[in-house]
C-alpha cells in the first residue's frame, strides 16, 4: 500500500451519525485482521493493490463518494442479499451498496431485541446498526430487504423501526407461478426506487444498467476461470475479497480494475506462475456468504498450505455466474429477463434446490478440487439442512467433504485449524 497522509474522515462520520470512538475501534480491529490475513501473503498480483486500497478506504473514500453523490441529489440503496436486482436500482439513477456484517459487534445490544441463537450474519448487521458503526447503512436512503429466511424476515421488521426499509417478497419455489409472482415484485421494486429517486426507469437506462452489471460479473468470471490453473495465479482469499468488494464499489471503476487484474492473472497462468506450489491441495468452499471482514475459513485453509479454488456461495459464484440477457428491446422484456435471472440464483431458501447441489459438483470438477468444505453459519437452518445433500452428492462424485459450522468469533480457530489440516492431510 502506498503511504500517503490519510485524510481525516471523522467529520463526515460524525455527520452520518456514527459513534466515533466505537467506530475507530472497529476500523483498527479490521485493519489488524486485514494485515494479518492479506498483507502477509507472498507474491500477490500487482492488481490486488487496488483491493488493498479499496479496503483501506472502505469507510473513507468510498463513503465520501456516496456522500458527494447524495449531496448532488443522488440516492443510495443498501442491500443484504443477491436477490435485490442492482440493475433496477441503477436504472433509476440510484447506487447500490452492500451493508456491513461479517464481524461480531455489539451482540449485547442485539440480544436485547433478538434471540441469542440467531445466525451471525443477522446479529452482525443489527449490531453494526445499533452500535452506529456502519457508514453504509447510515448513507442508505433506503434499505431493501427480502424474505430469504425467517431470521432476516423478522430482523427487517426490527430494522424497520429505526431505518427506512422496503422488503421484497421472494417465492420459495422456482416454477412458472413463482416466476410470475417474482416478476411482479421486481416491477414493484422499480416503482419504489422510481419514487425514491424521482427518475423514471426507461428501456435505455435499464439496458445500460444491465450491461454495466453484467460487465462486472464478466470480470469476476474471468478471475474465477483462472483458478482452473495449477498453480493458482492468486490466493483464494484475494478472490473472495474481490467478490466482497464488488458489493460496495463503483461499478464501472471496479469492472475496469478487475479486468486489469484478470489480464494479469491470465498472463501468470500462461507463464505458469502462481502463489502456491504446483500440486498444492485444492479446496472448493460452499455454503453461507462471507461478508467483510470474515476471512476466517479461507485464512485457515490457505495458511495450512492449501488453496481455495472457488466459492459456491453468495460471495462467490452465485453472485457472478449468471448474466441477465442483453437481447431484450422493450422495458417489459428486460424486467422479464431480470426476474428470470434472479430467480435462477440457487439459495437454500428454495425448495427443491437441486441447482445448488449440481453447481457444487460441477464447480468441484471444473476447478479440479481435491475436496469440498461445506461452511455454514451457526443457526442457519436452511444451509445446515442442505449439508446432508451436499455431502451425499459430493461423495458420490468421488470427493471428500468436511462440514463446518461456525460463526464470526475467533474462539474456535484452534479446533477449526485441526479439522481443516486433518482434512487436507486426508486429501
Residues that bind other proteins (CB under 8 A): 305, 400, 405-406, 411-412, 414-415, 417-419, 421-423, 425-426
Smallest distance from other proteins to CB 426, Å: 5
> How many residues are listed for the chain in this entry?
427
- Output 212 or 421, the one with its CB closest to other proteins: 421
* Nearer Cβ to other proteins (180/426): 426
Q: Which three cell numbers stand for residue 254?
A: 471496479
Q: Which is nearer to other proteins, 195 or 411 (CB)?
A: 411
C-alpha distance from residue 400 to each of 78, 283, 284, 388 (Å): 38, 10, 11, 13
Q: Which is nearer to other proteins, 146 or 407 (CB)?
A: 407
Residue among 208, 233, 226, 220 at smallest CA distance from 259 = 220
Q: How far is the CB of 423 from other proteins (least distance, A)?
A: 8
Shortest reach from residue 300's CB to other proteins, in Å: 12
In the bound complex, what is the minimum distance in angstroms from residue 202's beta carbon to other proteins?
53
- C-beta closer to other proteins: residue 220 or 424: 424
Q: Which residues of 344-380 are buried (b: 16+ CB within 10 A; e: fewer)?
A: ebbbbbbeebeebbebbbebbeebebbbbbbbbbebb
| Shortest spacing between CB 121 and other proteins, in angstroms | 19
To the nearest whole angstrom, how small is the minimum distance from the Cβ of residue 406 to other proteins? 8
Nearer to other proteins, 305 or 381 (CB): 305
The Cα–Cα gap between 71 and 274 comes to 45
Amino acid at each position: 500500500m502506498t503511504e500517503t497522509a490519510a485524510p481525516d474522515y471523522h467529520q463526515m462520520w460524525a455527520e452520518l451519525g456514527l459513534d466515533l470512538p466505537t467506530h475507530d475501534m472497529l476500523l483498527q480491529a479490521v485493519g489488524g485482521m486485514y494485515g494479518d490475513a492479506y498483507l502477509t501473503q507472498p507474491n500477490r498480483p500487482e492488481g490486488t493493490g487496488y483491493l488493498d486500497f479499496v479496503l483501506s478506504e472502505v469507510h473513507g473514500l468510498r463513503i465520501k463518494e456516496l456522500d458527494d453523490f447524495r449531496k448532488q441529489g443522488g440516492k443510495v440503496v443498501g442491500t443484504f442479499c443477491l436477490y435485490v436486482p442492482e440493475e433496477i436500482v441503477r436504472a433509476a439513477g440510484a447506487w447500490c451498496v452492500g451493508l456491513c456484517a461479517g464481524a461480531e459487534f455489539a451482540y449485547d445490544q442485539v440480544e436485547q431485541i433478538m434471540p441469542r441463537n440467531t445466525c451471525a450474519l443477522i446479529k452482525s448487521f443489527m449490531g453494526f446498526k445499533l452500535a452506529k458503526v456502519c457508514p453504509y447503512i447510515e448513507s442508505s436512503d433506503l434499505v431493501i430487504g427480502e424474505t430469504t429466511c425467517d431470521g432476516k424476515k423478522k430482523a427487517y421488521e426490527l430494522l424497520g423501526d429505526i431505518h427506512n426499509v422496503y422488503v421484497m417478497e421472494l417465492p420459495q419455489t422456482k416454477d412458472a407461478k413463482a416466476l410470475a409472482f417474482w416478476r411482479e415484485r421486481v416491477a414493484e421494486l422499480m416503482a419504489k426506487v422510481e419514487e425514491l429517486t424521482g427518475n423514471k426507469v426507461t428501456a435505455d437506462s435499464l439496458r445500460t444498467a444491465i450491461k454495466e452489471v453484467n460487465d462486472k460479473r464478466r470480470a469476476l468470471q474471468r478471475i474465477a476461470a483462472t483458478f482452473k490453473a495449477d498453480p493458482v495465479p492468486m490466493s483464494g482469499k484475494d478472490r473472495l475479497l474481490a467478490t466482497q468488494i464488488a458489493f460496495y464499489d463503483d461499478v464501472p471503476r471496479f469492472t475496469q480494475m478487475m479486468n486489469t487484474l484478470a489480464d494479469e492473472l491470465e498472463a501468470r497462468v500462461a507463464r505458469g506462475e502462481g502463489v502456491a506450489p504446483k500440486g498444492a491441495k485444492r479446496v472448493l468452499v460452499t455454503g453461507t456468504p462471507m461478508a467483510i471482514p470474515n476471512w476466517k475459513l479461507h485464512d485457515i485453509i490457505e495458511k495450512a498450505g492449501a488453496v481455495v479454488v472457488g466459492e459456491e456461495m453468495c460471495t462467490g459464484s452465485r453472485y457472478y455466474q449468471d448474466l441477465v440477457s442483453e437481447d431484450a428491446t422493450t422495458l417489459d422484456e428486460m424486467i422479464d429477463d431480470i426476474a428470470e435471472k434472479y430467480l435462477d440464483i440457487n439459495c437454500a431458501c428454495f425448495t427443491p434446490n437441486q441447482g445448488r447441489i449440481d453447481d457444487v459438483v460441477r464447480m468441484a470438477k471444473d476447478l479440479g478440487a481435491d475436496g469440498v468444505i461445506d461452511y455454514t453459519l451457526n443457526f442457519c437452518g436452511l444451509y445446515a439442512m442442505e449439508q446432508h445433500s451436499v455431502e451425499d452428492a459430493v461423495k458420490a462424485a468421488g470427493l471428500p467433504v468436511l462440514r463446518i459450522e461456525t460463526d464470526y468469533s475467533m474462539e474456535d480457530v484452534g479446533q477449526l485449524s485441526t479439522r481443516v489440516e486433518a482434512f487436507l492431510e486426508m486429501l
